[in-house]
A and B are shown apart, each in its own frame.
Chain A
Amino acid sequence: MSFAADSLDRRTFITFCATMAATLALPESYVPAIAKALQSAKRPVLVWLAFSDCAGCTESFLRASNPTVSDLILNTLSINYHETLMAASGEDAEALLSRTVGDDRGRYIAVVEGAIPTKDNGVYCTIGGRSAIDIAREVCSNAAAVITVGACAFFGGWPASRPNPTGAVGLQDALRGLKVINLPGCPPNAVNITATLVHFLTFGEMPDTDAQSRPLFAYGTQIHDSCERRAHYDAGEFVDAWGDEAHRKGWCLYKMGCKGPGTYHNCASVRWNDGTSWPIGAGHGCIGCSEAGFWDENTPFYRRLPDVPGFGVQTTANEVGLGIVAVTATAVAVHGVISIVRDRLHPEPVDPPPPSAGKS
């Protein structure tokens, strides 16, 4: 591919490959393999579907910096369909999607953003006159790999929060049995989207995941365990009011409702927007946006997490995390109980699930 040769000088390209290796927790010896995979003659084909979404995941994807977003979306990949970015409109746009599903069957990557409304025959989200579930079924069932981006495609997101007026669900509930990899977050971090794509392009398979199909490199560590304010938690140093001295000094936000304990995400280590900052670093608690059901389970957001016995100086973060899990039903992937599932690609296209697969 033209990636390295045309648009990036060699050093930049190798730096990028090394960054990806580090993000994926791979040894440096993998850098040549990554470089080789990204220089194939035919660019890997990607289609990006947006359903009941806010485009925040698309915007986050556009923050990719290494490689630069322009290289990623024009030189590294062939993005054959993305409503927000593509030149074509209307029937000419839909024709590109049909053509990809036909011509590249079993070879393209499908990315899904947004929830899928299943109530009332899907009239709450139609594109080109077709319902979201109808499009998702056709496109995802014939993909080489399916990646969900964001909370909505993971579990339905806020459209699925109480009382879920449109019967919104995430992709894996809409199309039961479909193998997906989930990159939750509201939005997910561009670094993690890029790294997942690079892993797939390099190794031909998705990275290792937890029981919720979230890659371990990005969702394997509790925010609370990697938080720069952790020492203050252990020392019993807490913020009591917004703007107080403790807040200015960067003490622990637990009492202000932080959901860092019980949330698995690499925000603290990779940070956001080229490493500029992250929510806790900017003084606001974590809302737990990478966990299923967080809009219901973690609200009110400013209420501190349930007390656990011995909370405070003596308690370890894992004990706090387990205490939360006991009351939240949805957060199943904690240390010690992670079921590591090795995702395998579909070597062959699968038959579309029957129409009744949609859950309302």
Chain B
Amino acid sequence: MTRIAIDPVTRIEGHLRIEATVEGGKVADAWSSSTMFRGMEIVLRKRDPRDAWLFAQRICGVCTTVHALASVRAVEDAVGSNPPLNARLIRDVIAGTQYVQDHVIHFYHLHAFDWVDVASATKADPAAASRLAQSISAWPKSSPGYFQEIRDKIAAIVNSGQPGLFANGYWGHPAYRLSPEANLVLVAHYLEALDWQREIVRVQAILGGKNPHPQTYLVGGMAIPIDPDSQAALNFARLDEERTILESAKTFVEQVYLPDAVLVASHYPEWFGYGAGHKTYMAYGDFPQPSGDVSSYRFARGIVRYPNEAGVDAFDPAKISEYVTRSWYAYPDERVGLHPSRGETNPTYTGPQPPFEFLNVNDKYSWLKAPRYDGEVMEVGPLARLLVSYAAGRPDIKNVLDGALRTLKLQRADLSSTLGRVVARALETQLMSGWLLEWHDELVANVANGDLAVHDGSRWEPSSWPAECEGWGSHEAPRGSLGHWVRIESGAIANYQAVMPTTWNASPRDARGMRGPYEAALLGTPVADPQRPLEILRTVHSFDPCMACAVHVLDPDGGLVVRVEDDAW
């Protein structure tokens, strides 16, 4: 049995460490550890709740809109504020562009090198690469000359003695399966996507002044004024510019990202058989229609548990609890979990002092708590969303998913896998790029009807709030279900906490010893060479880890057991 540690796991957001034992060429056991935290929840205490989104947004600069949205929703829920329709649509457009940019970046820049051998691409025949590209897509940048230019450029970097970002990849690893031509097509699109992502986020700059960290949310609405007759407001010229960007993004998703995802998936069919994990999926649901009712959400709310993939169980936020049995915190009774609004934080780092070689994985080993739903492990994210929405009968999601399963000759159960997550992420990007145009057009129509409202000012002043109130704000972020909880007393934050998608997915073991989703998904993953654990990266990256989001806070007061606080990031 070989014991390995991958630290840092790169091509993710933040600091993640994976320890594993390998036996007989397979992962025998695995431990997922977050090695950083900062303390956002402590920092937010006693502050103006209207400022919270600006702080919370900075939990993560990759998912740069998601905590802002969950935060204003939580405070609005607490104080009874109702953002007008324009503000809700602008929020949808910002959130949707976040999905599209984030998922494309994940596929090409964070995940592709697990499947694509850059060194092999330098040996490709440009004419054959061109034929391959044209056989899978109408994307115009596909001439032999274009691929020759890319091949020579990559070869120059790889062979220059200064390979830079390409240095020390697992190039030549036996688990790479794509032809040199397929590798070249994907490397070309890696480069194109790098420049393309700048363009789509301009939508967030139009609506929010800048990206990363667009600066436009308000408790009660949005700060971007709308006025067809003003150059200092969102007018029809700006909206036209926005639509052009969204249309172009949709084309890129349809002609580049989707065909490439299918290309990868079709060359690694065995990876629909690895990486399943617990097969329990949860989605809070999101993107309400104007009615705002939960049943109208584009992404349905609920829980799917295999083997009953056709049934959706109801979701009740009261059933969320968090365990610290294997996390660097202490509870009075660590056999039980606590609801986020009633949690306790007693940070007790018991790990080895740095520098260290291995963690003590038989004890506490992560700064992440272990969130569980009714005691069960839940996976969240694109795959969970699609499976829940499919089972809930959302027709557009069912159509897209069934089409992909036919193309790839797969059953729905095959999606519970490493590549299933990759395919689900691509499919929801396709859906989102279409929904974005719908939301954009709804906004234009509403403005054309004379509605210029962007903010509900009735609950802006703290004097309009109850003396004490509590709220919950949820969002289906690109990486999965996100929840923020806030308690406000006398106009200031008394307690604030969040449970992040990556906290669910990257969690350590709980009181019953149940592995978190990463850990469970890694069991049985083949490892051809423990010194070059490429296959482990495939499964971990398929979840799109975001560690800055996931890490829990600590309570600087240490030992005191206080109501609430903590947990979060």
Interface residues of A (CB under 8 A from B): 2, 6-7, 42-43, 45, 50-60, 62-65, 68-70, 73-75, 77-80, 82-90, 92-96, 115, 117, 120-131, 134, 157-159, 161-166, 168, 186-187, 229, 241-243, 247-250, 267, 272-274, 276-284, 287, 295, 299-303
Set of chain A residues within 8 Å of B9, measured between Cβ atoms: 89-90
Distance in Å: Cβ of A130 to nearest Cβ of chain B: 5
Query: Which chain B positions have C-beta within 8 A of A277?
Result: 205-206, 209-210
Contact in complex: B43, A63 (CB < 8 Å) = no
In the assembled complex, the Cα of A187 lies from the Cα of B57 at a distance in Å of 12
In the complex, besides A87-B11, A121-B353, A282-B207, 6 extra interface pairs with C-beta distance below 8 angstroms are A54-B13, A84-B10, A84-B13, A123-B353, A124-B367, A126-B35
Question: Which residues of B28-68 are within 8 A (CB) of A?
Answer: 35-40, 42-43, 47-48, 50-51, 54-55, 58-62, 64
Cα A130 to Cα B532 in complex, Å, equals 21
Residues of B within 8 A of A74 (CB): 157, 164-165, 191
- CB < 8 Å neighbour of B354 from A55, A126, A250: A126
> Cβ of B58 and Cβ of A54 under 8 Å apart?
yes
State A66–B452 Cα separation when bound (angstroms). 36
* B164 to A, closest residue via Cβ: A78
Bound together, the chains give a CA A58 to CA B166 distance in angstroms of 18
Contacts known (A70-B195, A77-B164, A84-B13); A247 close to B225, Cβ less than 8 A = yes
B466 at the interface (CB under 8 A from A): no
Determine if A242 and B198 form an interchain contact, defined as CB atoms under 8 angstroms apart: no
| Contact status A276-B205, CB under 8 Å | yes
Residue on A nearest B4 in the bound complex, by CB: A90
In contact, A163 and B43 (Cβ under 8 angstroms):
yes
Tell me the complex Cα distance, A86–B11, Å.
Answer: 6
Closest chain B residue, CB of each to CB of A72: B194
* Contact, CB under 8 Å: A55 / B233: no
Q: Are B51 and A300 in contact (CB under 8 A)?
A: yes
B37 engages A166 (CB within 8 Å): yes
On whether A122 and B354 interact (CB within 8 A), knowing A73-B165, A74-B157, the answer reads: yes
In the bound complex, residues from chain B placing their C-beta under 8 Å from that of A53 are: 14, 61, 548
Residues on the B chain within 8 Å of A165, using CB? 38-39, 42-43, 553-556
Jot down 24 A-B pairs with beta carbons below 8 A, ordered by A. Answer: A51-B36, A54-B59, A55-B61, A68-B194, A79-B164, A89-B8, A89-B9, A94-B8, A120-B349, A123-B351, A123-B354, A124-B554, A134-B355, A158-B38, A158-B40, A165-B38, A165-B39, A165-B42, A165-B554, A248-B230, A248-B452, A279-B216, A282-B224, A283-B225
Bound together, the chains give a CA A272 to CA B556 distance in angstroms of 37
Query: Which of A64, A93, A124 gathers the greatest number of chain B CB atoms within 10 Å?
Result: A124
| Smallest beta-carbon distance A171→chain B, Å | 16
B76-118 CB contact bits vs A (8 Å, 1 = yes)? 0000000000000000000000000000000001100100001
Bound CA–CA A301/B218 (angstroms):
11
Q: Does B223 contact A (CB under 8 A)?
A: yes
Given the known A-B contacts A89-B6, A90-B8, A283-B233, are A63 and B165 also in contact in the complex, defined by CB atoms under 8 Å? no
Interchain CB contact under 8 A, B10 and A88: yes
Please give, as numbers and ranges, the residues of chain A lying within 8 Å of B455 by CB-CB distance: 241-243
Give complex CA distance A42, B160 in Å.
Answer: 9
- Within 8 Å by CB of A87, from B5, B118, B354, lies B118
Q: Whose C-beta in chain B lies nearest to the C-beta of A61?
A: B212
B537 at the interface (CB under 8 A from A): yes
Q: B12 interface residue, CB < 8 Å from A? A: yes
Would you give the shortest CB distance from A73 to chain B, in whole angstroms? Answer: 7
CA distance A308 to B152 in the complex (A): 62
Q: When chains A and B are docked, how far (Å) is the Cα of A324 from the Cα of B208?
A: 26
Indicate whether A287 sits within 8 Å of B209 (C-beta atoms), given known contacts A59-B64, A78-B164.
no
Shortest Cβ distance from B478 into chain A, in angstroms?
A: 13
Give the distance in Å from the alpha carbon of A89 to the alpha carbon of B153 in the complex: 24
Give residues 183-219 of B contacting A (CB, 8 Å). Answer: 191, 194-195, 197-198, 201-202, 204-216, 218
- A62 B164 Cβ-Cβ under 8 A: no
Q: Are B7 and A128 in contact (CB under 8 A)?
A: yes
Report whether A84 and B12 are in contact in the complex, using a CB–CB cutoff of 8 Å.
yes
Contacts of B209 in A (CB 8 A): 272, 277-284
Q: Which residues of A contact B355 (CB under 8 A)?
A: 129-131, 134
- Which A residue sits closest to B353, measured CB to CB? A121
B297 contacts the other chain (CB 8 A): no
Residue B362 is within 8 A (CB to CB) of chain A in the complex: no
Query: A272, B165: Cβ atoms under 8 Å?
Result: no
Q: How far is the CA of A90 from the CA of B16 in the complex (A)?
A: 10
B195 touches A130 (CB 8 A): no
Whether A58 lies near B165 (C-beta < 8 A) is no
Q: How far is the CA of A77 from the CA of B212 in the complex (A)?
A: 23
Find out whether the CB atom of B58 lies under 8 angstroms from the CB atom of A278. no
List, in ascending order, chain B residues with CB within 8 A of A162's CB. 43
Please measure, in the bound complex, the distance between the C-alpha atom of A329 and the C-alpha atom of B119, giving whole angstroms: 54
**Interchain CB contact under 8 A, B213 and A186:** yes
A89 to B6, CA, bound (A): 7
Which of B8, B452, B537 counts the most chain A CB atoms within 10 A? B8
Would you call A302 and B225 a contact (CB within 8 A)?
Answer: no
From A128, A158, A283, B55 is in contact (CB under 8 Å) with: A158
- A-B pairs with the 9 shortest C-beta distances? A56-B61, A250-B232, A87-B169, A165-B39, A282-B209, A88-B168, A272-B210, A279-B209, A248-B227
| Pair A187/B43 contact, Cβ less than 8 Å | no
Instruction: Determine how close the nearest CB of chain A comes to the CB of B222; give it in whole angstroms.
Output: 8
Smallest CB–CB gap between B308 and chain A, Å? Answer: 37
Is residue B162 within 8 Å, beta carbon to beta carbon, of the partner chain?
A: yes
Closest chain-A Cβ to B81's Cβ sits at a distance in Å of: 12
Within 8 A of A (CB), among B343-372: 349, 351-357, 367
B204: chain A residues at CB < 8 Å are 273
In the complex, how many angstroms separate the beta carbon of A192 from the nearest chain B beta carbon?
Answer: 13
Residue of B156, B162, B209, B220 ringed by the most chain A CB atoms within 10 A: B209
Check if A90 sits within 8 Å of B7, measured CB to CB.
Answer: yes
Distance A148 CA – B338 CA, assembled complex (angstroms) = 40
Does any Cβ of A come within 8 Å of B221's Cβ? Answer: yes
Q: How far is the CA of A149 from the CA of B471 in the complex (A)?
A: 35
- List chain B residues, Cβ under 8 A from A295: 43, 55
CA distance A5 to B355 in the complex (A): 45
Least Cβ–Cβ distance between B151 and chain A, in angstroms: 12
Contact of A282 among B47, B55, B216, B367 (CB under 8 A): B216
- Least Cβ–Cβ distance between A287 and chain B, in angstroms: 6
Find out whether the CB atom of A70 lies under 8 angstroms from the CB atom of B218. no
Chain B hits for A69, CB < 8 A = 194-195, 198
Say whether A55 contacts B14, CB under 8 Å: yes
Cross-chain contact B58 with A90 (CB below 8 angstroms):
no
> In the complex, A344→B408 CA distance in Å?
59
Q: Tell yes or no: B2 within 8 A of A by CB.
A: no
- What is the bound-complex CA distance between A52 and B218, given in angstroms? 27
Complex CA distance for A51 and B8, rounded to whole angstroms: 12
Q: A85-B109, A86-B11 are in contact. Are A276 and B230 (CB under 8 A)?
A: no
Separation of A16 and B475 alpha carbons in the complex (Å): 40
A52 x B452 contact (CB < 8 A): no
**Using Cβ atoms and an 8 Å threshold, which residues of chain A touch B169?**
87-88
Smallest beta-carbon distance A346→chain B, Å: 23
User: Are A241 and B11 in touch, CB under 8 angstroms?
Assistant: no
B194 touches A127 (CB 8 A): no
B435 CB within 8 Å of chain A: no
A250 to chain B: which residues have CB within 8 Å? 225, 230-233
Q: Is B465 an interface residue (CB 8 A)?
A: no
Q: Is the CB of B48 within 8 A of A302?
A: yes
